[in-house]
Chains A and B, each alone.
Chain A
Amino acid sequence: MSQPDAVRMEHIWTRFADKVVHKDINLTLPQGEILGLVGASGCGKTVLLREIIGLQIPSQGEIVVMGESLKTISSSHGKRLRNHCGVLFQKGALFSVLDVFENIAFPLRELGVDDEEFIKRLVFMKLEDVGLSARDAWLKPADLSGGMTKRVALARTLILEPRLLLLDEPTSGLDPISSQDFVDLLSGLHRDLKFTVILVTHDLDILRDLCTQVAVLADQQLVAFGTLANVMANPHPFVQRFFHNQRAQRVFQYQPQAQPLPSSGTPHG
């Protein structure tokens, strides 16, 4: 049975007053892929992510998420779709008035689950999944380190086991060890839960170790899309500068893990 694509973007244009942010972006991402969205700062990566989440509406074009067009989706279907999409914001966006336990339990309670034993078991399992201990459950967000904040935010995002995970710079502000831990964690969870991931990042290690697909935004357009090897071969000047500078070369020459999985992603348009 054919499965809907995780995300399909058709002729997306985004304008802020006179400024054009996205110019005719087309992209199709099948389920199960991990897409790394890269581009220069301020090129509209986060805006594109917000459009997929539905927090922002593109000026023109259509976005279809898990087979549902965001343009025509009804409110009840929209709510259901949001349960299938998890979003990890750049700074975690934990609710500071709630402790870690309540932050993670929040989506469950919003869904109408009121069985405390059930909530407790699920929350502690998710804490364990993201590598935190039960003791951490009673801490307030203000008491957490950057790495812990990201882990708690990931646990909250994963509590409803979304089919599509959207991450905005998940390793920004983390030290290299925490960053690597986070990549390993995400990789393990992806293997177990088989969700689709779209992540905005500047981290070349993530592109190398985690992403099965890479999309490059430059000059308001999607200038390259495909496996890392395909994208690196793209002649666009930005792609060449991004992937073939000295630092990038050092990262890509060092191969601690196997190459990314072969991909089934296809650009179109």
Chain B
Amino acid sequence: MDDNRTNLKKQAILELIGQKGGKSSACLSGDWTLSNLTIDASLQKNIKQAANNSHLHWDLHSVNVLDNATALWLWQAWGQSLPAELEIKPEHLRLINKWQSQTVPDSSSPGFSVALTANYLAQMMANVFKQFLDFVTMLGQLLLDIGHLLRHPGDIPWPEISITIFESGVRALGITALVGFLIGIVLSYLSALQLKLFGAEIYIIDILGLSIIRELGPLLAAILVAGRSGSAITAQIGIMRVTEELDALSAMGISHSLRLVLPKVAALTVVMPLLSVWTSATALIGGMFSAQNTLDISYQQFLIKLPDAVPLLNVFIGLGKSAVFGLMIALIACHFGFCIKPNTESLGNETTNSVVAAITVVIMVDALFAILFMDVGMP
């Protein structure tokens, strides 16, 4: 009765016995399970070798356990037919016979075809168009929400805005300061080497001031925030989709846009210029530190010369574009968050897409600002 019950320590055993008259036989005993079979590679090899001998007598009477997978494996080793001489328990024979009648559906890939490629491209274009449409819809809804909040200031979600300012701004102070400081040192050090050649050491202040305040500070802060907070926002909204929190909000009649998108957009639009000033300041400190060590330009000299080298308009350009960076990062992060489907693959893909898209858009906006304000703020 307990034939099929097992002890884990039992092995699958194969004995090849030569008999008188030149007839030899393969005796199988023990537990013939897939687990036992895969543990012992030599067993598989020996069975396959033995199966090549079409006159071999197979004795499976002493097999205690034979599972479906091993029955299939033996049947395949025998060339998908039963050996001429086989002794086997009826219940085990049933397992092997089951495979003889099985039909396997064709699962071969359809291969390359023009129609399939065209279909793939059409789907890709439709997807891009849908993404664009969703983004514009979200933007439109955001404008409507802003209109609503102007009429009903009591509905402004202050707690959500405050939390996002803390998470995306305050908690990013450390990393932005470190990166800014190090970039300031690197930039100052590399520029100093070139300026020394021409005896134009004093221009280090112009180079550092203009490049950091107008370009590098806002850009570095934006890239860090896109990677740090953008991905977090996308994943957070995506998880809310997976756990049906978004549906719960809808069921309660609460607008996703008002409660989720707007606070993040508002918070990042406020936080980004502040982080940009902070990053620029730490980068300038790093630059000053390096300039003093490599070019003997004192901190005092650096600070006195800086306002002359960098007109105030550059600070405003930096602040303005930082606000736009923050707005775009939040919008893109929210958009990709809502694109997430309830599975782990989608969560990973959309979070990656969100960060890549945010950084790309930040650089595109930066280029646009550079062209639009080409003649503004130059000393």
Chain A positions within 8 Å of B, measured between CB atoms, are 3-4, 31-32, 66-68, 77, 80-81, 83-84, 95-97, 101, 108, 111-113, 115, 117-118, 120-122, 124-125, 134, 137-138, 140-142, 159-161, 163, 193-194
Contacts and interface: CB of A to CB of B under 8 A. Distances in A.
B35 A83 contact: yes
B33 A66 contact: no
B5 A68 contact: no
Contacts of B104: 117, 120-121, 124
Contact of B38 (A31, A111, A125, A159): A111
A161 B69 contact: yes
Contacts of B2: 3, 31-32
Interface stretch (B132-140, B158-166, B216-224, B341-349): B341-349
Contact of B35 (A3, A84, A101, A141): A84
A24 B76 CA distance: 50
Nearest to B68: A161
13 contacts: A32-B5, A66-B8, A77-B8, A80-B8, A95-B344, A108-B34, A111-B35, A121-B102, A121-B104, A141-B343, A160-B35, A161-B33, A161-B68
B72 interface: yes
Contact of B343 (A68, A81, A142, A194): A142
Contacts of B78: none
A153 B105 CA distance: 21
A118 B7 CA distance: 26
A65 to B, nearest CB: 9
Nearest to A32: B5
Contacts, number: 88
Contact of A121 (B6, B33, B67, B72): B72
Given A118-B76, A121-B102, A160-B69, A84 B343 contact: no
A187 to B, nearest CB: 17
B102 A125 contact: yes
A224 B189 CA distance: 78
B73 interface: yes
B278 interface: no
Interface in B40-99: 67-69, 72-73, 76, 98-99
A3 B343 contact: no
Given A96-B345, A124-B102, A124-B105, A3 B33 contact: no
B343 A118 contact: no
B73 A84 contact: no
B39 interface: yes
B4 interface: yes
B224 to A, nearest CB: 29
Given A77-B8, A142-B341, A163-B5, A118 B72 contact: yes
Nearest to A129: B68
B151 interface: no
Q: What are the 6 tightest A-B residue pairs by CB atom distance, in nearest-first order?
A: A96-B343, A134-B105, A83-B35, A97-B345, A161-B67, A31-B5
Contacts of B67: 161
A102 to B, nearest CB: 12
Given A111-B35, A121-B99, A161-B68, A97 B344 contact: yes
Contacts of A140: 343
Contacts of A4: 7
Contact of B7 (A3, A95, A111, A141): A3
B20 interface: no
A160 B343 contact: no
Contacts of A117: 76, 104
A66 B102 contact: no
Contact of A111 (B5, B34, B344): B34
Given A117-B76, A118-B76, A142-B341, A80 B107 contact: no
B345 to A, nearest CB: 4
A163 B6 contact: yes
A97 B341 CA distance: 12
A160 B105 contact: no
A120 B2 CA distance: 31
A117 B107 CA distance: 11
Interface in B106-135: 107
A142 B138 CA distance: 25
Contacts of B344: 95-97
Contacts of B99: 121
B237 to A, nearest CB: 18
Contacts of A112: 38
A66 B5 CA distance: 10
Nearest to A6: B5
Contacts of B39: 80
A84 B8 CA distance: 8
Contacts of B34: 83, 108, 111, 113, 160-161
A108 B341 CA distance: 28
Contacts of A97: 343-345
Interface string B267-294: 0000000000000000000000000000
B106 to A, nearest CB: 9
B342 A80 contact: no
Contacts of A194: 4-5
Nearest to B76: A118
Contacts of A161: 33-34, 67-69
A101 B99 CA distance: 19
A95 B104 CA distance: 24
B152 interface: no
A112 to B, nearest CB: 5
B68 to A, nearest CB: 6
Interface string B352-369: 000000000000000000
B23 interface: no
B138 to A, nearest CB: 23
Given A68-B8, A108-B69, A161-B67, 17 more contacts: A3-B7, A66-B7, A66-B8, A84-B35, A96-B345, A101-B107, A118-B72, A118-B76, A121-B104, A122-B72, A124-B105, A137-B105, A140-B343, A160-B34, A160-B35, A163-B5, A194-B4
